Amino acid sequence: MRKVIIDTDTAGDDTIAILTALHYFDVQGIMITGGNVDFGQQVENALYTVQVAGKGGQIPVYKGYQAPILQLGTDKHLTVEDVHGSDGMGGANFPKAEQRAETMHAVDFLIDAVHANPGEIELLAIAPLTNIAMAIKKDPSIVPEIKHLHIMGGTNNDLGNITPAAEYNFYVDPEAARIVLNAGIPTTMVGWEMCTRYSIMEDRDHEDIEQLHTAGSAFFVAVNKVVKQFNKAVHKINGTTHPDTLLMAVAANPTLMEKSGNYYVDVETKGEFTRGYSVVDINGRLQKPANVTVCEQINKPTFKEMLLEVLRAIK
Ligand code: CA
């Protein structure tokens, strides 16, 4: 099984993504980055999700950076309780898991794990890229030893979700995204527009999931309760979006990507309206070498099958 490390701001779809990764990969550890909701809550959400997968105590969870690189003083980055519920878990307020987070910092864990498995570790990034950027800053010698980086973030010349221009993960820490994208790690990016086009689970898909009658399907329903209403009201989307789960599925099964392109990708860090916008230079106007494989089309039925397989397996 391929060895991976997950970097997550665990709320909403991050949980289903973690279940998906635990199903398809040998997960070495889970790192938490500041993002979706209160940091301590995200840690609890990740620990609880590991327990739901039946792997409590087996997958270490590491606390990383709680805030973006440039966050000053008592400023707070934008959290999205309105999307995922106050607890980031659809308001389900699950009990605390028995497993506790490790004391080692996530960045030190990442550096040690990569050096201990040179050329073997793949990173599954489903949060702002703060932890990964800081690890690269702390020890640039990890870069050539990382096998692949899979990122859910940005858009490919398309509509953002947190502002018209920007997708949430890149918007929260654009400087981190720049550092990571320009580091030279082989990278695949699944942008937000892939999620709105190919990852939406509509009411009838939810019915198929409920019909599984497993602990996994019950968890899926609970976690997605708030986001379902939010999507209808704000994004005019009839169903739930699964950006992080889609990223895991693409990483596990690259043939899921029916179309992709290799482009130069960078991130706007200034911009009155465009901070966090991902520049995907499809026509090569910047004359820079391609640094990212950008996902452009997904086989949706296969994605749904993979999701069902994951939820079916959690009894
Ligand atoms: Ca996430």
pLDDT in tens, 87-99: 989 888 899 999 9
Task: Quote the ligand 1 centre to 32 CA distance (angstroms).
Answer: 10
Mean pLDDT (whole number) for 108-112: 98
- Is residue 213 among the annotated active site residues? no
Task: Quote the ligand 1 centre to 287 CA distance (angstroms).
Answer: 32
pLDDT in tens, 212-263: 999 999 999 999 988 888 888 888 888 999 999 999 999 999 999 999 999 9
> What pLDDT is attached to residue 90?
86
Give the pTM: 0.97
- Distance CA(48)–CA(42), nearest Å, equals 10
Distances in Å between the Cα of 314 and the Cα atoms of 59, 76, 99, 293 are: 16, 36, 19, 32
- The angle, 0 to 180 degrees and rounded to 10, between the axes of the packed helices 203-210 and 300-313 is 30
Query: What are the chain's domains?
Result: 3-313 (3.90.245.10)
Side-chain-side CA neighbours of residue 113 (13 Å): 27
Task: Quote the ligand 1 centre to 243 CA distance (angstroms).
Answer: 8
Task: Quote the ligand 1 centre to 91 CA distance (angstroms).
Answer: 17
Spot the catalytic one: 84, 105, 150, 242: 242
